[in-house]
Amino acid sequence: MSCCVFSYCSGEPTAVSSPSSRASANRGVVLLLASSDVLHAIRSPFVNVVLIDVRSAEHFRRSHIEEAICCPCAHELDKELVLRSPAFETIRGKMTPGALSSAFAADKPLKEVGSCVVVYDSCGDTADSCGPAAVLAQMLVDLEMVPEVGRLAGGFQAFQELNAAVT
């Protein structure tokens, strides 16, 4: 697993990689994002954040981040099923290279940067964890479905505690 951790406070990406998978220059990237940064991006008029919730359908029905797409157990899907899945067809080719990095840079965008994907689960990811959101995020990058994808640090619980707009 390979990811970059973005800190809104410093605005500087810090590379974090496991020995088993190092990102190459021509591959996509997985970014670990703070809940506060994701909330800011969702509310920004300059970025379109596509949220993918990999928690169970029951948890999603009870509560989820507004406008999230429910993909329970998406992290367990075979790569071929992901490639053919209608849920993931909505994001294929529609994400803007660099939009995620631009949306979460210290200098927030003042013009449209495009669309990006953020994946979350209930476990709460860290730079070293390999939860369901981390697995799906890496799969999306490996399959070249998105140029970059964000993982929500702290998962849904951290976001829910922060955000009053959770439905």
* Other beta carbons within 10 Å of 125: 26
Read off the pLDDT of residues 60-77 as tens digits, 9 standing for 90 and up.
Answer: 999 999 899 888 866 566
3-state helix, strand, coil in the chain (%, to 5): 30, 25, 45
What 3-state DSSP class applies to 150?
strand
Most confidently modeled of 25-29, 113-117, 142-146?
113-117
- Give the number of residues written for the chain: 167
Read off the pLDDT of residues 38-61 as tens digits, 9 standing for 90 and up.
Answer: 988 888 899 999 999 988 889 999
Read off the pLDDT of residues 79-135 as tens digits, 9 standing for 90 and up.
Answer: 777 777 777 877 877 888 889 888 888 787 788 999 999 999 987 656 566 788 888
pTM of the model: 0.78
Please report the pLDDT score of residue 106 as a whole number: 77
The order of strands in the sheet holding 148-152 is 13-17, 2-6, 29-33, 148-152, 114-120, 47-53, 69-70
Please report the pLDDT score of residue 132 as a whole number: 83
Please report the pLDDT score of residue 62 as a whole number: 94
Least Cα distance to 116 among 135, 103, 133 occurs for 103
Report residue 133 as tokens.
């959101």
Asked if pLDDT for residue 11 goes beyond 90, the answer is: no
Please report the pLDDT score of residue 63 as a whole number: 92
Please report the pLDDT score of residue 90 as a whole number: 74
Please report the pLDDT score of residue 154 as a whole number: 87
